[in-house]
């Protein structure tokens, strides 16, 4: 396998993975739909920061510990599950609040601090980094696309950057889509429905992660 072949093959695999709806999609759509552009950008950058971190650690061989040590994997898994369960539960709880009290209540922050790049980045990073399945994915898949003659670390980081670029491109599409529907989604009833759907999805991801599924 040449480097060019490996690059195109990896692009196809992670491209399909990127297009598959999941936790990242739910977070980006929910944040952007509420009109919080800076926070939505922060969530996108945070998620891709996590992806770059997982890919870099995999290229260094560090994430092999997740597959070799049940204790290490379970520690990351349970921490991530706890965070997702908390985040999903907060969204569901906030959806019950009166809109006259806090019209744009966020799962983590109030109105005056809801649209911050740093808050979105932190949420995106935590959501991605605390998901050990991403690390296991890179451990299992990344080495298959690194030609024997190519430098392992540099090629691994290059392939990871391809994943990051695809993620940024697709996230931009999601943000534009959510922005187009923002007028409707910012209605009180729509906001409550959005928080309930997103909160239920995130809570479900957390429970599945806690159960080891």
- One DSSP character per residue, 26-56 reads HHHHHHHHTT-HHHHHHHHHHHHHHHHHHHH
Residue range 12-27, pLDDT digits in tens: 989 988 888 788 888 8
- Please choose, from the candidates 107, 138, 102, the residue with its C-alpha nearest in 3D space to the C-alpha of residue 122: 107
How far is the C-alpha of 112 from the C-alpha of 54, rounded, in Å? 33
**Predicted TM-score of the model (pTM):** 0.76
Q: How much is the pLDDT for 31?
A: 86
Domain boundaries, the chain: 3-211
108 pLDDT above the threshold of 50:
no
Two tokens at 161? 């950057």
Looking at residue 65, its pLDDT comes to 66
The average pLDDT across 161-175 equals 94
């Amino acid at each position: 396998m040449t480097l060019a072949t490996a690059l195109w093959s990896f692009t196809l695999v992670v491209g399909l993975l990127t297009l598959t709806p999941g936790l990242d999609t739910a977070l980006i759509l929910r944040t952007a739909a509420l009109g919080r552009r800076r926070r939505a950008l922060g969530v996108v950058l945070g998620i891709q920061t996590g992806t770059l971190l997982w890919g870099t650690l995999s290229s260094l061989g560090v994430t092999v510990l997740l597959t070799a040590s049940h204790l290490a994997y379970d520690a990351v898994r349970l921490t991530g599950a706890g965070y997702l369960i908390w985040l999903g539960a907060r969204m569901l709880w906030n959806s019950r609040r009166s809109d006259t009290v806090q019209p744009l209540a966020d799962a983590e922050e109030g109105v005056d601090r809801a649209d911050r790049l740093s808050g979105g980045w932190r949420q995106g990073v935590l959501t991605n980094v605390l998901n050990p399945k991403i690390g296991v994915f890179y451990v299992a898949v990344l080495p298959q696309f690194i030609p024997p003659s190519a430098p392992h670390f540099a090629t691994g980081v290059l392939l990871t950057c391809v994943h990051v670029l695809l993620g940024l491109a697709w996230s931009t599409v999601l943000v534009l889509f959510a922005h187009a529907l923002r007028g409707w989604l910012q209605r009180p009833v729509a906001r409550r429905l959005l928080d309930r759907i997103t909160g239920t999805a995130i809570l479900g991801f957390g429970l599945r992660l806690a159960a080891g599924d």
